Structure 1
Amino acid sequence: MTRNEEQPAGQARQRIDKWLFFARLRKSRSLAARSVEAGDVSVNGASVRQPSHMVRPGDVIVLSLDRHDMVVKVLLPGERRGPYEEARLLYSDMTPPPPPREERSLFAQATRERGAGRPTKRERRETDRLQDFSGDGED
């Protein structure tokens, strides 16, 4: 079989770095290769460290991004890096939804509700008063 002949659909395989680039999950192929080498990618539950690792339709890829992990199932090998609509056909997103805000960690950074604006002077004084109260008797 030569390179130009097409492989049967069940045998279609592609390098992981190339597939991540074609699926638009990484901005460049070199960034995709670096993330694979860094151990940020696993295929079917096994960590992958070689950009030449071959993936095929049906493989489940877990990609560690900055703030969350993305879980995708390979549907098709890519032929080119096309527009988003075309790249979206290469995978099925299986990433679980984030937990509701109430269930998040108690140690998460305190934030204000969206649209609440900046605190008023009175609210800042109340916050400062609460932060200054330490209960150690010094003042």
Structure 2
Amino acid sequence: MTGQAANPDQVVRADVWLWAARFFKTRSLAKQAIDGGKIEVNGAGCKPARALHVGDTLRISRGEERLEVGVLALSDKRGPASVAVTLYEETQASRTAREAAREQHKLLGANAPPKRPDKQARRDLRRLKDKL
């Protein structure tokens, strides 16, 4: 186990790299995401043991978040977040699409806490139910 790769011929398992790059908290979560079809390598599905190379492109789906990243370096050890960020680079198209989705989410008010009915609204609901 070498940490970051010095030679371009080294390969790392996809689930290990996703864990080391801090896309997932555990390797088993990364494996589950790959098995669930949430990860694509170079436009095709992959298996957890798929060998990643420098220059590969990954499409990662986490919940509503969609990322497209290029592999800049390989690592099989999970280090600090400052090191993990150097392992990949998000494409500009992915970044703009993610920011646009975040803005759309804000505009729809999805982050607003649900409003409980006040006294007047409860009375209106009771009246409506009594009519039915």
Look up the match of 1:101. 104
Please tell me whether the aligned partners of residues 12 and 76 of structure 2 are also in contact (alpha carbons under 8 angstroms). no
Q: CA 1:101–1:85 in structure 2 vs 1: closer, same or farther (change >3 Å)?
A: same
Displacement of 1:67 after TM fit? 1.4
TM-score normalised over the length of structure 1: 0.66
Q: Which structure has the larger Rg?
A: 1
Aligned-residue Cα RMSD (Å) equals 3.7
SS in structure 1 of the partner of residue 54 of structure 2: coil
| Unaligned 5+ runs, structure 1 | 133-139
The one-letter amino acid paired with 1:65 is: R
Higher RCO, Cα 8 Å, sep 6+: 2
One-letter amino acid of the structure 1 residue matched with residue 21 of structure 2: A
What SS does the aligned partner of 1:76 have? coil
Q: TM-score, normalised by structure 2?
A: 0.69
Cα distance, 1:65 vs structure 2: 0.5
- Equivalenced residue count is 121
Distance 1:88 1:72 in 2: 11
Given the superposition, is the C-alpha separation of residues 85 and 45 from structure 1 closer, same or farther in structure 2, using an over 3 Å criterion?
same
- 4+ residue segments displaced more than 4 Å: 110-113
Within 1, Cα distance between the matches of 2:15 and 2:52? 10
